[in-house]
Structure 1
Amino acid sequence: MKKAILAFILIAAIAAYFVFDLGQVLSLENFKASQADIVAAKDANPVLYITGFFILYVAVTGLSIPGAAIMSLVAGALFGVVLGTIIVSFASTIGATLAFLSARFVLRDWVQGKFGERLRAIDDGLEKDGAFYLFTLRLIPVFPFFVINLLMGLTRIKTRTFFWVSQLGMLPATVVFVNAGTQISRIDSTAGLLSPTLIASFAALALFPWVAKGIVALVKRSRG
């Protein structure tokens, strides 16, 4: 019964996003058109705006609806690089963890019953190297974050591991987007923010833990 209620709430919230065209509210064009008024209101009530923005970001990522990338830019425009990065880093990780837990609570048992044997092999691998796999996926922005949240929820990876690895792995892209947001007037879309060179740099960084692990294993074998 609890699973059905949670599933209904999630579906209703996502449906409301599309029915009421809330994507327009979270659009880059809408913010730029009202930027002066929003900044003035934020300056008058900074704590209220920080709190409200944080909660909204958690809701957007927790419900896996579009808008997180735009909100990261807005964070840079409203709060600057340092505070904006702190807000987005924690809000995105908390929201991602809520999506992760929702998928685990609603779908894990069904998937386990349907694909038990296949899932067991994946679970065994993630139990051993889950942090490495997740870190790699988080650092390469070509993989949609919301898909990672939902898929990881179907595995046995520990929640605390998911949280800290996600926060660490999403941090580089967060800094890029928040920093870009400080010049939001020059940005027309998020498409060009992650260049092939930047993505390649993230990929190289994602491979580093695997290389380090391989070197450690070789050293241990040579000593053994």
Structure 2
Amino acid sequence: MPVVTSKKGKIGIAVFVIAVAGSIWFSGLHEALTPERIKEEREVLHAFVEQNYVLSVLSFILLTVSTAFFVPGAIALVLAAGFFFGAIPGALFSVTGLTLGAVSAFLAARYVLGDWIQEKYRVPLAAFNQEMQNHGHYYLLTLRIVPVVPFFLVNILAGLTKISLKNFTASTSIGLLPASVVYSFAGRKLGSINSPRDVLSPGVVAALLLLAVLALFPVLLKNLRRIRNKDRPKRLD
């Protein structure tokens, strides 16, 4: 993974990220990324997709990338993807865009602040870094399956750790897939959906929670074994 070491390079990345986030925010784009707004324009958008499929896919992925820069609306976009592109293609396009956006935010956070934080707090972070190197991909996978922490915040916080870009990318793309498939399939009936809560039935929530537990199971099992071995009395020879 290339590393930006020069001061100008890091400042350039920071300016780029701030410019992208600011442009999207002040453009009001985040206000348009709601199921209601998309439903209002769905006939026009559907006609455009049919006439310009490749351009529509590329535009959708680029728009999805923007959700990594403090812009809400990822769920609405995945719903729209299912409606305009079909369930499976919509889910794949969504995961592609979300992963690219996550990686962009991750690298920006690492290059701008990550190196400085790791150097300044090298000793206090030693145990944490070791844990992240050993199990960080399990934690990240769990947070992607059940997004209890905002999407953009996970990207930034992960960039401040020692988790590798490879593990971050793989965990993000795999973890985003289950919920993306659920929302994309639901998006086929976009007209009857008023909010993301309409999609998350008790069964769907239970299935996602089960996947999250399974993703974290290796860490839980290892910690349980460590506790048992610690409490086990030592043999006297």
Same topology, TM > 0.5: yes
**Mean CA deviation greater in 92-101 or 114-123:** 114-123
Alignment equivalent of 1:171, drawn from 152, 177, 182 = 177
**Kept in 2: contact 1:39–1:78 (CA 8 A):** yes
Tell me the CA shift for residue 12 of structure 1: 2.5
1:37 aligned residue: 44
Tell me the CA shift for residue 8 of structure 1: 1.8
Aligned partner letter, 1:48: L
Tell me the CA shift for residue 28 of structure 1: 2.4
Q: Which runs of 5+ in 1 are unaligned?
A: none
Alignment equivalent of 1:137, drawn from 125, 129, 143 = 143
2:34 aligned residue: 27
Deviating beyond 4 angstroms after TM superposition, the runs of 4 or more aligned structure 1 residues are: none
For 1:28 and 1:98, how far apart are their aligned partners in 2?
26
* Corresponding pairs, count: 217
Aligned partner letter, 2:150: P
For 2:167 and 2:26, how far apart are their aligned partners in 1?
36
1:204 aligned residue: 210
For 2:156 and 2:116, how far apart are their aligned partners in 1?
14
Say what the alpha-carbon RMSD is for the aligned residues: 2.2
1:154 aligned residue: 160
For 2:15 and 2:217, how far apart are their aligned partners in 1?
44
Once the two structures are aligned, what percentage of the paired residues are identical?
35
Q: Deviations over 1:68-120 (max 9, x none)?
A: 11111110110010110111112211211111111111110232244333322
For 2:70 and 2:27, how far apart are their aligned partners in 1?
17
For 1:187 and 1:114, how far apart are their aligned partners in 2?
48
Mark the CA change 1:209 to 1:29 in structure 2 (over 3 Å): closer, same or farther.
closer
Tell me the CA shift for residue 142 of structure 1: 2.2
Tell me the CA shift for residue 41 of structure 1: 1.3
Q: Does 1:5 align with 2:8?
A: no
For 2:205 and 2:44, how far apart are their aligned partners in 1?
35
| SS of the residue 1:177 aligns to | helix
Structure exhibiting the larger radius of gyration computed from Cα positions: 2
For 1:62 and 1:212, how far apart are their aligned partners in 2?
28
TM-score by length of 2: 0.82
| SS of the residue 1:194 aligns to | coil
For 1:19 and 1:91, how far apart are their aligned partners in 2?
21
For 2:213 and 2:39, how far apart are their aligned partners in 1?
37
